[in-house]
Copies of this chain bind each other. A is one copy, B any other.
Amino acid sequence: MLQYQALNEYRALIYARKRRDLFVEQSQLVCREIGDGNLNLVFHIADQITGKSIIMKQALTYARVVGESWPLTLDRARIESQALLIQHSICPGFVPKVYHYDPIMALTIMEDLSSYLVMRKGLASRVQYPHFSRHIGRFLARTLFLTSDFALPSQEKKMRAAQFMNPEMCKISENLIFTDPYFDSETNRFNLLITDAVIKIRDNDQLKLEVAKLKEGFLTHAQALIHGDFHTGSIMVTEEDTKVIDPEFSFYGPIGFDIGVLVANVLLSFASHEGHTPDSQERTNYQAYLLSMIEEIWSCFEKEFRDLWEKESKEQMTVIPGYVDDYLLQVLEDTAGYAGCEMMRRIIGLAHVPDLESVEDPNLRAKGEQLALSIGQQLVLERWQVQGINDITSRVRQIAGLGMNQ
């Protein structure tokens, strides 16, 4: 095909049939559109004879969640496929394999992860994943360190930064995460029961100043090739395995943004169990598990990052005593700040999380939302006091009224 056209299940199947590297002529293909995201078409295509299956993801020219009134660049399909290839080369097995990328159709064919569960759903069902924190800490450390100025020659890093400039997708984050929630913007929506809390946030100049500084970092601080949308819906899990998907927001940005968004989404699950898990023992047990998960994610990230710093640095300055400690502290401060921003925008901005949206009773939902807003604000305002990941989790315990020894 010489020109972009949006696929439907029939056309997607025809497209797949032609790819002899994937399916043999005798294949009996079945195609289903399974996209539940905000932006793209996602087709699951399986050969009923061999059982072989693939995912075909196609970018639409507009944001699916809003409609054709919100045009969106097809270039995000290039960003996603190229980011997946880089992440695969850096951290094999942690992202879906890319089989084919078609720039005209803005389409990527990749490994089928149907046997995996979206992490967010697992957390909603209070599943515990014994390997998850270790996996994701390793993924974060490797993808972030190994695309940074510490590991790449500065010329190569700059070429990659230009390749992943991703202006349109960044613009979405700039508006929806860092700007709109703090003004009376039309894109915002929130539970009317928390209106008072929203007003207080919009009136809090000190909070907004800190958000403005975090936004400036997001706009200017090109530390590493970050995923850019690292929430629990971008992670697929089995009990044994972890895969990170959907890096269409990838760009060179602050390292703490990826870690912060992940921490925020674990804490949004934490807050949602105020509504989902009425049994208080069950709730506090799982909430304690979620906090220990955050601690373990950071400590695994930190350990791997220090190891890479020691062994894989190409930057002469990394030999300076104390530099890695100072750098990691700055990443942790950013992590707290960006986590706070992500938590607040998921409650009072455009794009909410299913964790809380699925709490049907608006009063119960408001309880979780208010908890999330409190945590979010404190993380933004107090990030300068954070010296270790436990300072974050114990602050959360305190705000949530959990015992300090949970």
Q: Mark A297-338, 1 if CB is under 8 A from B, else 0.
A: 000000000000000000011101111001100000000000
Contact in complex: B219, A326 (CB < 8 Å): no
Q: Mark A214-228, 1 if CB is under 8 A from B, else 0.
A: 011001111100000
Contact in complex: B154, A205 (CB < 8 Å): no
A155 at the interface (CB under 8 A from B): yes
Interface size of A by CB at 8 A reads 42
Q: With both chains docked as a complex, state the minimum distance between the C-beta of A329 and any C-beta of chain B, in angstroms.
A: 11
- Interface stretch, picked from A33-41, A108-116, A164-172, is A164-172
Q: Considering the complex, give the chain B residue whose CB is closest to the CB of A321.
A: B205
Contact in complex: B158, A170 (CB < 8 Å): yes
Q: In the bound complex, how far is the Cα of B191 from the Cα of A292, in angstroms?
A: 57
SS class, residues of chain A in contact with chain B: helix
Q: Which of A135-173 contact B (CB under 8 A)?
A: 149, 154-155, 157-159, 161-162, 165-168, 170-171
Q: In the bound complex, how far is the Cα of B322 from the Cα of A211, in angstroms?
A: 12
Copy total for this chain: 2
Q: List 21 A-B contacts (CB under 8 A).
A: A149-B216, A149-B220, A154-B174, A155-B167, A155-B168, A158-B167, A158-B170, A159-B167, A161-B165, A178-B317, A179-B316, A183-B316, A205-B320, A205-B321, A209-B320, A212-B317, A212-B318, A212-B320, A215-B317, A221-B221, A222-B222
Residue numbers of A with Cβ under 8 A of B are: 149, 154-155, 157-159, 161-162, 165-168, 170-171, 174, 178-179, 182-183, 205-206, 208-209, 211-213, 215-216, 219-223, 316-318, 320-323, 326-327
